[in-house]
Each structure stands twice: as C-alpha cells, then as structure tokens.
Structure 1
Amino acid sequence: MGAGAPAYSGTDTVAIAAASPERPLPYVELGMNDEEYQRVRNILGRRPTSSELAIYSVMWSEHCSYKSSKVHLRQFGDKAPKTDKLLVGMGENAGVVDIGQGWAVTFKVESHNHPSYVEPYQGAATGVGGIVRDIMSMGARPIAVMDSLRFGPADAPDTQRVLPGVVAGIGGYGNSLGLPNIGGETAFDACYEQNPLVNALCVGVMKHEDIKRAVAPGPGNKVILFGATTGPDGIGGASVLASATFDEESQKKRPSVQVGDPFMEKLLIECCLELFGEDLVVGIQDLGAAGVSCATTELAAAGTGGMHIDLDLVPLRDETLLPEEILMSESQERMMAVVEPGKVDRFLEICARWEIPATVIGSVTDTRRLVMTWRGETIVDIPPVTAVDEGPVYQRPLEPPQDLGALQSDTPGRLTRPSNGDELRRTVLWLAGSPNLASKTWVTSQYDRYVLGNTVLAMPENAGVVRIDDESGLGIALSLDGNGRYTRLDPYAGAQLALSEAFRNVAATGARPLAVTNCLNFGSPEDPGVMWQFARAVEGLADGCQYLGIPVTGGNVSFYNQTGTTAINPTPVVGVLGVHDDVRRRVNMSLTTDGATIALLGETREEFGGSEWAHVVYGHLGGLPPLVDLKAEAALASVMVSAIRDGLVTAVHDLSDGGLSQTLVESCLRGGLGARITLPGDPFTALFSESVARAMVVVTPGAEARLAALCESAGVPVAQLGVAGGDALTVTGRAPEGDQQELFSIPLHELREAHERMLPSYAD
C-alpha cells in the first residue's frame, strides 16, 4: 500500500518542513495506523505538517474514504443495469435520475448513527441538515425527507433517552426547513441498544440543465465559503466518531456533536437556488464530514487540480481555533462554491440579501497542489488527488460468523404455534401492538407531512408519494426498508429482501420503480465475520438491482456500529424511487368500499425464519429468512402498476413483517372499515407467514374478471380472501378438527387500542 508511493514535489517544501519541528504528530489518535502515516510521508517526500496530517486523517478515515468497503462497492457500478434514466451516478454528492418531461430527481440516504447516540437531538437534526445539503449541492430544490430509525428494546432506559431526542431532532430540523417527512420506518431490537441507527434520506427536484457538480475548474476562479461561521462544534465529528466502536474509553474521547441551525439552512437553500438560477456557480460542494478539508480537496481534485486557500479569511465563531481545527470542524450550514471572477460581486450581493455570510477565501490554480496559508506561513502543500483518490484500500479478511451455522439450524419449527381460534386471535393482537408493528403515529405526528402542499401519500402508507408537476400529475414514490434479523440469518438474501420490500412498496402505490439508494449499517470492518456479512450483503444487493433493472445511484456505508465487541445485526437499508406518470391515479392501503372483494396476490409458503411472530412471541431468531423470488417480485409489481393505472383496484397493501395478519389490521384501521376473511389452508401459516412477493388488493366492483386475467397473463397467483365491511375483523378458516368455521372476530376499536397504545406508553 504505502512503502513504494511516489513523492510529489511541492511549491514550498523547505518552508513547510522548517515550520514543522520534529515533535510527535498524533496520527494514531486521529485514526491512522503506522503504514498509513508512512504513506503520507512517502507521498509528500517529507514529514507532514499538523494541518496536512489533519486533512489526510479525515479524508482517509473509514467514513470519508470507504477504505474497507470500496473493493466491494464497485459491484454496484460493474453490475449496473443499462439505463438511459441515470443522469448522475455514484461518486457525486447524490445520484440523479430522469423522471420525464425534462424533470430530474436526486435522492440519497446517509447515516448519523454515532452522533445521535451521543446527543440525540442534535445528532439526528444535523443528520437531516447534512443530507439536505447533499441534495442542494446537486442543484436541486429539496422537496421531502424520510428516515429509517432503529433503537434498543422499546422499554429500555437507553431507548427512552435516545428515542424522544432523535424524533424531536428530526422533526425540529425538518419542520423548520418546511420539508415534509413522507415516510420511513421505526424499529426496535436489543442489538441496537447503545448503538441506534439514524438514517436520513432527502429527495430533490430540478430540470436537467440545472444539475451541478462538485468540481473546481478554471484557474483564476474564486473559492467562496458561504453560510454559517466555523466553530469548534463537531471537530472531527462524523469522520472520526463514525470510525470507532463504542466502549467506556472511547466515550470519554468523543468529540462534540455538530450543532444545527435549521433557519440558517432554510435561508441557505433559497440563496443557493437564486445563485443557481442566475448561473453564478461553476462548482459547488457542501461542508459535511471533514468540513473545509473535504470541500477543498474534493473540489480541487475534480477540477483543474489546484487551489490556493487563505485560512485567515475563513469566518470564525471562535478566534482561538488552530488551523487544523478549522480544517476538521464540521460546523453545519456551510457551502463552498467556485465562481468566475466577474460574477463574484453578484454572488456576494445575493448572499447579503439572504443574510448569508459569504467570503472569498481563495482561488483555483492549475498547479495540481492544494496550498493553504495561515498567518503568513504555508501550512498545507499537497496534491489533493492523493487525499481524495489515493488513500489506503483494504481487502479485509472475510469468514462467516462462527455462530451462523447454529443460528440457521435453530429453526422456528420447534416453537409452539397457536392451535385454536382464541390463540390465533391473541397472536393477532400481540403482533398489532408489538414495538415493531404498532402504530408509529406518536413519531410521525411530530413531523409535518404535508407542508409545501405536494405530498400525496405519507406514513403509514406503503410509500411516500410527492407531486412534481401540477399540470400533468407527474410524481415520485419513495420507500425505505430494511430487516436486520433477515440479514443476520443470511446477508445475501437479507439485502435482497430489503430491496424487494422497498420495490414492492413503491409499486403498491402505482409507481414504476426506477432507482436505488442505500445505507449499509454494519459492525467493525476489522472483524472478519462482519466483513463477510458486508461483502455478501453488497453482492446480494448488486445482483438484485441488476436483475430488477434499477441502478444504485449512491449511498452510504456506516461501519463500527457496535458496543465493545458486540456488533449490531447487519442492517442494509434500501431506498427505492419510483415514478408516477399521474399521481391522481395512485391508491392507498385503506379499506373504504363496503362489500368490495379482497384478494391476495402471490404465493404463501410456510416461512417463519426471522419473522415478527417468532421475535415477538418467543424472542427467537433462527432458521432461514423467506425465500427471495425476484422474478415473482417483478411480476407482482407489473400487475399492481397496471391494475392501479387501469382502475381495477381501489386499495393495495403489501405483505411483509407480520404477514397477512398485520396487513389486514393496518388496512382496516386506516380505512375505518372491517373485513370478513376466509383463510386458505393452515390458518397460522396464512396469517403470519412472511413470504415475499405478495400484496392484498381491494378489487373495484365489477373488475374481478379483468384482474384475474391480468394476474394470469403475468403468472401471479390470485385468490379471493373475502369482502370489506362491518366494524370488526372476522376470520374464518380450518379448525383443529378440520372443518371450516369462524375462528375469531376482533372489533376495530379493540384492534385500534392494541395497535396505538405502545409507543406513547413507552415515551411518556
């Protein structure tokens, strides 16, 4: 990796060396090992200054460089399906796809896990702020956010500390920005105690010609830092904190978490859009992880290769900051732009009108060097490409976790199943009120879901839907899904199951799935078992996207999600974006038509490995997850999209966690209408199996034959379950004696009470 690295000649090597006395440099404390530090010395041909070391340490951190993951992530590019819809792919701040009529959409999901454990409100709030700026930096107007949240047991003291703060932070920042939160997920599992997952997604919209890039071309162009001032908050925060596991000692060393100002960010959004509208920006980059270090090196490396920065010009909140602290600060609400000299005055004028501080701090050069001065001394002189593209790349050892075989062989078959109607009824209520399946209204009611007026569907629907064009009805659908238990049992299948659920959710609204983003949450990459899980999950997701014909546009890797030596369940979170030609033809999941036929699409098998039933009733994790069937998923999606477009169905709800039982509960309560259902085969399997590629539909009266013909042509099994109506969920099926009879009936008010009491009771 490092010993043979070539030296790069600098502009002022002697002066820099003289300014760096032979005092110990804390490269180990900054997360670098001996070999990495030696590589820096070989690149520079000398000892680095403390400021140069700061740049390399954050840019080569796990969080910024993907040094343990990039050898696997290449599969997303190598296996990407051919499509003319992908306008900007991986490697930029966010991917961009063409959705038609000259419109483009950019979307991405990222993690803010570790900061949200340290300081829940600010950790979650700045996670939202950071992903919004990624979308802004592509030239887009942010139009909606989503989040995927995971905590320890709902009744654990740690969860009761973290959960309210995280939810308040997401709501406080997003609501202040005026962005609707249109969906996501909130889940609980003991493995996430002391290591919550807070994954935030943002989506933005623009015209094709408005796309911006993180690039600094044109020697003589000016570098402008604008937005909030730079302070000591979050110095090395995401870049260092996300590259270490939590233990007693590391908690003492945690850097401060970034502090957000959503009102400044709102002004920054509007300011950027006006700057873009007047074509004043040649290149732009947000300042997130690694702050000024990242923005300058990435812009320079992607442009003509050089930049000169005067750090004395960086506006500071704390004048005592050292240059390396200025470089590593992750203060929020900051952007960096490259602007032609003749347009600088107009740029600054617009910023002033929006009350956004803006300062020219340097210029673009063609030297292929990033040079920084501070108080009359050159403190940085490096080739920026070495910090961005020539960092260490590790092929970490891989081997399956030692307990995987025993885990997979411990099937749920040994667990006692409900044997009569009363036990089935009790199980339906248990699941409906369990932490993962209970109503999340306590969470989502703290988010504004309908601000801006373009939200068509939001939580708890299958997917969030947003209108893009008022006249044509063009819109998008988004779903964000993952299941750590499935992935723990089989990482390859678990990643594909997350993909297939998000794919199915988007299609269940009537949208055509188009593209994918992901956030890959795993334990330490230095653990061969974790790296095996990661490699298999990436391979599974890449293969799944290739089969379904939807490219990965970008995403995020979050390693070191563990406390001590105990890692979380491997948790790939997958976001799928779909396109609605006309959102006025979408459907929701509510039962509202009295007497309408309820039908089940897809095949049900006896599949309970990693299921909610086993988890809720017995605390059991074992066996194999449901069988992945991507061919069936694609066929089901095509049927749902066509049936919705042609008006054959009035409601659709996918089947996933909790099986048909949970789907019925949610659809009945959402629409305020009961159902009379007759179960095929074994009632337990019919109700609680989590077989994939299935959906429940409410058929438009008179369209039964047309729906059956559509399903037959696509090879999708269809079976009538019953009818909507009444004020109870009434289920008929095969009794233990073998005859058909009413197994149970649950009034909607009892279902609602069970479904809605859980989260408020824990959060009070």
Structure 2
Amino acid sequence: MSLADSDRELVVEELGREPTPAEAALFENLWSEHCAYRSSRPLLSAFESDGEQVVVGPGDDAAVVALPSADGDDDPASGRADDETYITMGIESHNHPSYVDPFDGAATGVGGIVRDTLSMGAYPIALADSLYFGEFNREHAKYLFEGVVEGISHYGNCIGVPTVAGSVDFHEDYEGNPLVNVACIGLTNEDRLVTAEAQEPGNKLVLVGNATGRDGLGGASFASEDLSEDAETEDRPAVQVGDPYAEKLLIEANEQLIEEGLIESARDLGAAGLGGASSEMVAKGGLGAHIELERVHQREPKMNALEILLAESQERMCYEVEPENVDRVEEITERFDLGCSVIGEVTDGNYVCTFENSETRHTSDDSSGEQSEPRERETVVDVDAHFLGEGAPMNDLESEKPEQPDTDLPEVDVEAAFETVVSSPNTASKRWVYRQYDHEVGVRTSVGPGDDAAIVAVREAEQGLAISTGSAPNWTSTAPYEGARAVALENATNVAAKGATPLAAVNCLNGANPEKPDVYGGFEGIVDGLADMCETIDAPVVGGNVSLYNDSAAGPIPPTPTLALVGTKDGYDAPSLSLAPKANTDLLLVGDLGLEAGDLALGGSEYLARFDGSDRFPALPDDPAALVEAIAEIADDDSTRAVHDVSHGGLAVSLAEMVTDEAGLTVELPVTDADLAAPLFHEQPGRVLIQTESPDAVASAFENVAPVVKVGSVTDDGRLEITAEERTITADAATIRELRATIEDELA
C-alpha cells in the first residue's frame, strides 16, 4: 500500500505535517476508487433518488424504502407510503476477490451485504446474485463459476437467508476478471431504523463480532486497480475469509440489540476495516472519535496498529452505544458467543486512534515488586474525519463516445440456430445454480428462482415483493447507453410479469479501467442509460455500488450495469411462467414482432453472439412506463393463465421456456422462411407472451400502449411447433429440457 504523491501533497497541506504510516495507509484506502468513487461520483448525479417512498437514499450502508399500504391508499400525513413497514435494499460487488479465491471471495461478498442490512436495523429476508464469467467452454471460467456458486450457497445457506433471484452470464471479456454482484433485501420499520450517522459525543464505540486478524489487509486498494497476471497468488492476502456461523450469531444478536433499542448508530466493517467503518460513522455526524486500538479483540499475536486499523476480517460490526447501555450490549453479545470490545468513544474533535504497544517494556529490572511504569501510548491517527472521508479529489477523465456496430448478419439454417440459441449457456436453464441455494428458508418465498422475478411475502404489509436482478453484457457491449436502458426496462418487465409495479432499485455499476477514454465513455453510457430508464418508469435509484478497474491481461470487461429492482403487489400469488394445461387458450405477444424493416435489429442478441454477427441495437418501446403498468395490470387479470417476458434469446427461447409436458404450442409467424430468424431471435425488451382466456381483455389493456399479436394456441400434447410458410421447427418438452440442460450436463 502506498499513497499517491499527489494525494500525499493534499494530506500534508491539510495536516501541516507528514502523515504517520497508519494515516497514509488509511488515506490510501479511503481515497481509493473503491471507497471514494473518484472517477464515478461526478456521473452519479444523473440518478433520480427521491420519492415519497424513499426514507433513506444513497450514502448509507443500505437504502430504506417504505412499502405501499395494503389498500393502496397512502397516508398523506406521513408524507410516505406506509409508516408501518420498510424494506432495506443494498448491493455490492466482490469481483477481484472472487477471481483470486472464488469460494471465499464470493462468500464474503454475501456476508458483507448482509451486514450492510443489519446496520440499518433490518433483518435480512432475501438475497439475489448476478454473476458474470468468461466463455463457459473454458476450464478456468468453469472453475471460477463452480467456486463462486459454492461460496454463495455455503454462506447463504448457513446464515439462513434465502437466495431467491439472480442471473448468470458468460462472455469472453470476463475471462480475466469475473464479476460477483450480490443484493440483499431486509425488513424493518420506523421504530427499528438505525443509520450510520453518529449521534452524540460521549457515546461509546463498541466492536462486536469475530476477532480481528490479518486477513483482507488492503482490500479496498486491491479492488481499485487492474488485476495482474499473478493476482491469484500475489493478492491472496487481500481476500477475506468468512465464517457464516459467526455471521448467523451476529444476525440474531443484532436483532436483539435493535429490539431493545440499544444502538444509536451502526456500521459494518467492510472496506478499510475498522478505520473505514468508524471514521465514516463519525464523519456523517460531523463528529470525531478517540479509539484505543489495543482494546480491539484480536485472534493473532503481535498485531500492530496499522493491521488492527485496516484488516478486513469478517463478521464484525461497529456500534455507537450510550454509556448506560454498554453493560447490556456486552451481556447480549456474550449470550451469542460473540466478541465485544469497548474500543473508544464519540467526540466533538478529530478522528484519533492511539495504540499501546504491549511489546514495549517499561517495568523495573529488579524484582522488588515496585509498580511498573505505564506503557507508552502512541497517537497513530489524528485527522479530521470529514477530510478523511470526503477530501479525495475527483478525477477529470477523458471520454470517447462509443459507436454502434455495422450490420453484418450471418447466414445460418434457422433450425440449427434455434437449437444453438436455446442451448447456449446464457439462455440455458440455471437450475444447476439455484438448486444449490436454499431459497425457501424463512417461509416467505412465494415465487423462487427460475422465474422472471421472485416474489417474497411481506406479511407485515400484506404485500408481495417482486425482485428482479441482472444485466446483459451482449447488450451493453454493443451499445452502452441503449443497452443500459434496455437492462432497466427488462428488469421492470420481469416484475410486471408477476403483477407487480416498480417501487425502487439499486445498482452495481461495473466497468474497466476508467483512465482509458473508450472505457470511460462506455461507463458514462451505462450510467446515463440506466438513469434515464429508471426515471422514466418511476423507479428511483436509492443506492448502489461502483466497481471500476475490472481489467486484466485478458482485457477490459464489458460495461456492466447490474440492476436490482423491486416491485410490489397486493397478495403473494402470481401468474406462472409456464403454460397452464388448458387447451384452446390463445398465446398473445405484446410488443414488436420484428416484422417492420425500420424496427428490426438483432444487435446484442445471443443469436449474433453465437454466430459472430453484428447489428445495431433495437429501438425500445415509445412509452415504457405505460407498458410496464399495463403488463402488471393484465398479469393480475383473472383471465390470464401465464405471462413470460421476451428478452435474452428472443421469442425462440421464451416460447421454449413456456412449454411443459402437459401444455404445448402451435405458433404461426407471418414471415417467409428466409425471414424467420428476425422475429425468432431479436431481443427488444419490454415484450411479453401472455396465455389468456380473453384476448379482448389483453387488447383493451394495451390499447394505445403496444401492439398485440396472436402468435399461437395452447395444445395438450407438450410440443412446440413454429411455422413460417412451409417451414416448421418442432421440439417436444423433453427435447427442450435436454437442450436447456447445457450447464447441468457439463457440471454434473
């Protein structure tokens, strides 16, 4: 770890002296890209984060959003939707650590986002993960994939928080730098709510949880630089080691502390360890602190001040506690077999850390029994907390606006293309992943993984909470701005397909080295595109995470804007993704079939990715907000039997996913054989397939909003037949399952 010369000059000017080694390391970590967002913060004002439902927006460990009242009538006196029930939303990345050590890197990513939830006074009720790896046929990508999934499942299952939603994408540009993005939803209310803002001088700072070791040193700075070829060996000490059983105890102890009202403010120990958590907490309150570092409970001998201050050992929380409540906090943590140290107190001065070195001898050389002299106490940090947290200068970087690719369409037999696209690892079943997760623990999961969106029952508000998360690297590498808009619309369409309307979103903005103008231009594109569509569909972006320098010897990653979006609905039931076994019902497509030359575009599609083609990205619907609202309305209509969005893989994949052994489809597309690839494989988002008993009800719902086209009828033979002129593609449910079992067959 080393502080950059330009940053050191600013620090020296502010302090009026050279920083101590501990101060220099603390500034180096807290002023890193990972913590200070030096390249991205100037762009983040594009996001609309306000709304009557927003209780706590960006800047805390997690956002807090009020759920709508069950009857749909907001309380005008409160200024918010429902004073009774809040959810928390948070998302974070653990990209570099998951490359170096896929199991521990992914596992501690789960642990960190769960503790962000705890620090808001919330109980975690759901997890969602979005994962990105190199091409699936490469052994190293499969090694990382298996390790990451195992790490997530191990940690989530052990702590008893269900993983209910997520996504997995494979793309050659993640080969040297995978992405692991994890979101967590928590449940709280106004009385339980805690923030990371220190409240009062004189209150004690209490460290609770696992003992501090030397793992994770320099993790924040490690996450703010490109991965080297030797990262798997050289950077291993920067990766934390998780203990989910300690985290489970911490979850339950935190719940007891919150229920008894013992916590004034809280922050989990993540990036930059104790130094990061404690300094940020007091800085947010405009206060300072005095911390005695040797009071921190440690698991390794002879730790020095810098190690204690910056170690990123897991399963630790820093609490602000009123002095009269400290004994009770210690009693509760002892009952849960957790370490507890009163390490200092909140002050109205600087952020000060002192250290008494136990190795320094100050005792008398004789054995007369005279009392030893006091050990020497060294001041290792004495800085203004606000300057430490907010003083990093922002980067002024060059940007090159990306251009969409030229059109170069492949000539492929459409039946062969159907099999290739349906069996692609990107569109194939992800059952191998989610069957390893306990997605029903907590008995709230109404709709689990494998559907367009998950639904979690929030019985406290009589609401179903729909959760969709993911991105689309094929889309955003083709056209960053347009692709990011499409990512937001697709996630909104997913929750609407379950009958829910968007409430709020958090994002994880992943990019490569921002010092490269073309990379920074692509990053700007995904920020603006995501912000534009989220504002359009009235889904405030209430928090998020930025991960840059995802670059390696293999090259930069695609700009990847993971979005975790939630929506709400009355009740917990939702239409199925799969066809209902009811013959003579119609299957309708809401949206563009891709028949008009001006609308047709295959850019960003899995079809072009599989066959090395290129094209511009498709145009999006004219009124996305009205479209999403209409989809949610018709999804809850009594005549609706099934709803499924059309996106990755296009119509071909969505039709295949709906077919079951009991319900098949006959589909007729009004195109020639030669033109069949266009409607089958283009991926314009915002489209849905609806199985209905009342086509008139669907047509009425989308009048003046989107075109509605009958594409087929439901049969009882479990077969999919797609016909254009005299060309027919056929596959039964068993064949489709075999095609879609690509990942499971390879890794079984």
Q: Same fold (TM over 0.5)?
A: yes
Supply the distance in 2 between the matched residues of 1:186 and 1:75 (Cα, whole angstroms): 27
Deviation of the 1:751 alpha carbon: 1.2
SS of alignment partner, residue 393 of structure 1: coil
* Aligned CA-pair RMSD: 1.7
Deviation of the 1:565 alpha carbon: 7.2
2:620 paired residue number: 628
Query: Are 1:199 and 2:174 matched, yes or no?
Result: no
From 398, 411, 415, the equivalent of 1:416 is: 411
In the alignment, structure 1 segments of 5+ residues that lack a partner are 1-28, 419-423, 736-740
Supply the distance in 1 between the matched residues of 2:678 and 2:516 (Cα, whole angstroms): 38
Does the aligned pair in 2 maintain the 1:627–1:692 contact within 8 Å? no
SS of alignment partner, residue 210 of structure 1: coil
1:260 paired residue number: 242
- CA-to-aligned-CA distance 1:651-708 (integer Å, 9 cap, x gap): 1100001111100111114x75211111233432221111222100110x3x222222
Query: Are 1:247 and 2:228 matched, yes or no?
Result: yes
Deviation of the 1:368 alpha carbon: 3.7
2:144 paired residue number: 162
Q: Which moved more, 1:218-227 or 1:479-488?
A: 479-488
Does the aligned pair in 2 maintain the 1:482–1:574 contact within 8 Å? yes
Deviation of the 1:188 alpha carbon: 0.8
1:65 paired residue number: 36
Deviation of the 1:261 alpha carbon: 0.5
1:215 paired residue number: 197
- CA-to-aligned-CA distance 1:728-753 (integer Å, 9 cap, x gap): 43434333xxxxx4612212111111
From 520, 542, 557, the equivalent of 2:546 is: 557
- CA-to-aligned-CA distance 1:308-361 (integer Å, 9 cap, x gap): 000010011112221111111110000000000111111111111111111100
What TM-score results when the alignment is normalised by the length of structure 2?
A: 0.92
2:668 paired residue number: 678
1:505 paired residue number: 494
Does the aligned pair in 2 maintain the 1:524–1:559 contact within 8 Å? yes
1:277 paired residue number: 259
How do 1:533-612 residues align onto structure 2 when only pairs under 5 Å count?
533-564=522-553, 566-584=555-573, 586-595=574-583, 596-605=585-594, 606-612=600-606
How do 1:173-572 residues align onto structure 2 when only pairs under 5 Å count?
173-237=155-219, 239-248=220-229, 253-256=234-237, 257-375=239-357, 376-400=377-401, 404-405=402-403, 408-413=404-409, 415-418=410-413, 424-469=414-459, 473-564=462-553, 566-572=555-561
SS of alignment partner, residue 46 of structure 2: helix
Deviation of the 1:304 alpha carbon: 4.5
Identity score, percent: 37
Does the aligned pair in 1 maintain the 2:34–2:221 contact within 8 Å? yes
Does the aligned pair in 2 maintain the 1:648–1:707 contact within 8 Å? no
Query: Are 1:103 and 2:85 matched, yes or no?
Result: yes
Supply the distance in 1 between the matched residues of 2:580 and 2:537 (Cα, whole angstroms): 33
1:19 paired residue number: none
What TM-score results when the alignment is normalised by the length of structure 1?
A: 0.90
Supply the distance in 2 between the matched residues of 1:107 and 1:576 (Cα, whole angstroms): 9
Task: Return the letter of the residue paired with 1:572.
Answer: P
Deviation of the 1:494 alpha carbon: 1.5
Deviation of the 1:135 alpha carbon: 0.9
- CA-to-aligned-CA distance 1:1-27 (integer Å, 9 cap, x gap): xxxxxxxxxxxxxxxxxxxxxxxxxxx
Task: Return the letter of the residue paired with 2:637.
Answer: D
In the alignment, structure 2 segments of 5+ residues that lack a partner are 70-83, 358-376, 595-599
Deviation of the 1:464 alpha carbon: 1.0
SS of alignment partner, residue 583 of structure 1: coil
Supply the distance in 1 between the matched residues of 2:514 and 2:236 (Cα, whole angstroms): 22
SS of alignment partner, residue 623 of structure 2: helix
C-alpha distance 437-490 of structure 1, shift in aligned 2 (>3 A): same
Does the aligned pair in 1 maintain the 2:493–2:631 contact within 8 Å? no
1:12 paired residue number: none
C-alpha distance 694-576 of structure 1, shift in aligned 2 (>3 A): same
Supply the distance in 1 between the matched residues of 2:241 and 2:541 (Cα, whole angstroms): 31
Does the aligned pair in 2 maintain the 1:108–1:202 contact within 8 Å? yes
Deviation of the 1:88 alpha carbon: 0.6
The aligned length equals: 705
1:23 paired residue number: none
SS of alignment partner, residue 199 of structure 2: coil
- CA-to-aligned-CA distance 1:237-256 (integer Å, 9 cap, x gap): 2x022111122355554142
C-alpha distance 269-159 of structure 1, shift in aligned 2 (>3 A): same
C-alpha distance 744-543 of structure 1, shift in aligned 2 (>3 A): closer
Supply the distance in 2 between the matched residues of 1:134 and 1:442 (Cα, whole angstroms): 28
- CA-to-aligned-CA distance 1:55-93 (integer Å, 9 cap, x gap): 1111001101101110111222xx44x520111101111
Supply the distance in 1 between the matched residues of 2:67 and 2:175 (Cα, whole angstroms): 40
Larger helix percent: 1
Does the aligned pair in 2 maintain the 1:412–1:609 contact within 8 Å? no
From 104, 111, 121, the equivalent of 1:122 is: 104
Deviation of the 1:628 alpha carbon: 2.7
Supply the distance in 1 between the matched residues of 2:317 and 2:557 (Cα, whole angstroms): 34
Deviation of the 1:306 alpha carbon: 1.2
1:751 paired residue number: 736
- CA-to-aligned-CA distance 1:360-403 (integer Å, 9 cap, x gap): 00011111443433331111111111111111211211123xxx
